[in-house]
Amino acid sequence: MKVSLRAGERIYVNGAVLRVDRKVSVELVNDVMFLLEGQVMQASDATTAMRQLYFIVQLMLMNPTDVRDATALYGQHHAALCAVCESKEMLEGLAAIDELVGATRYFEALKRIRGLFPVEQAILAGTTTEFPFQAA
């Protein structure tokens, strides 16, 4: 896989942070876990349940040698989301995400989570016809 980076941009590869000083293309010739700087969510941006799930899975991808704590946190957060969610689309998405995380396919899981951000936003804005979360 070939990745193009701009000057000053960072890429996170198997837990290492690399910053380039000029425009460069990098070819990743073996199977690695990586995130581009634009895909990295800051803790302060994890303001909704799905964004928090994204942040947790991101931690698993960025530090693959020590995922024990993040895996435990993921399990708790995922279970809590499944327990309160009634939206079929969200539940199917959460099931797919769990399969991807279980197979250590973190990048694909992050992509699937990002795909559910608009669904979550519609739920939170009350613009969906479903009642996706149970009343507390």
Task: Give the chain's length.
Answer: 136
16: amino acid identity, one letter: A
**Residue 134, pLDDT above cutoff 50:** no
Share of the chain above pLDDT 70, in %: 93
Enclosing H/E stretch for 95: helix 88-102
pTM of the complete model: 0.82
Q: What angle do CA 50, 55, 58 make, to 5 degrees?
A: 125
Per residue in 58-104, pLDDT tens?
999 888 778 899 999 999 999 999 999 989 999 999 999 999 999 99
